[in-house]
Chain A
Amino acid sequence: MDLREDSVGDITVLEVKGRIDSTTAPTFGEKLTGTLATPDKRLVLDLRQLEYISSAGFRVLLLAAKRAEEAGSRFVLCSISGKVRQLFDLGGFLDLFSISASREEGIAALR
């Protein structure tokens, strides 16, 4: 798994490439919850290049949502497609998170 961080104004964009499974989830979780722990942080999580996500990855996302709520931060997922989207749907996660079609739409949603 590769993580790439960009900034668009005061919005952070975190792009995930590869797999989020039990091996990579701790690193991913540390980065995500660490960023969202900053009060009033706004973050777009770009999943365009995500190839696989297991239950460990979903747990990290739920934990991040909880941390964000506690810190008053906001985050949006974007560019979820294909088999990854199918897993979000199966697990009932599509309605749990704010999801945008593209990175640009995600940024616009946080402004």
Chain B
Amino acid sequence: MRFMMLVKSGENQGLPPKELMDAIAKLAEEANKAGTMIASGGLAPTSMSTRVRVSRGQLTTVDGPFTEAKEVVGGYAVFELKSKEEAIEGALRFMELHKKHWSGWEGETEIRQIFGPEDFPPKA
């Protein structure tokens, strides 16, 4: 099963401390060694982003930053795992690092399963 982890937080919390970055790098290295993480990336701030939207039959293009958003996606990772529990365990370890190395930080990791062919079995 493939999962995407979306890490969300407020953008006004400043730069992450070095200890956190080091700990995350180590965790990522472990995930690589475990053969489970197949992609990951950090996203540029929303001040550099653009939204293209359809609403009431109209297309609009709006450049960031988007002040109304409390929490935005700042990074993602894609994992190949056996179960959602494994994904939760991984996310707990990731967020534990934030708790430990960045006091006061608030945010969340959202775990979303990526559908594969096995989720659309042939009809009997």
Do A and B pair up? The answer is: no
**Residues of B participating in the A interface, judged by any CB pair closer than 8 Å:** none
**Residues of A participating in the B interface, judged by any CB pair closer than 8 Å:** none
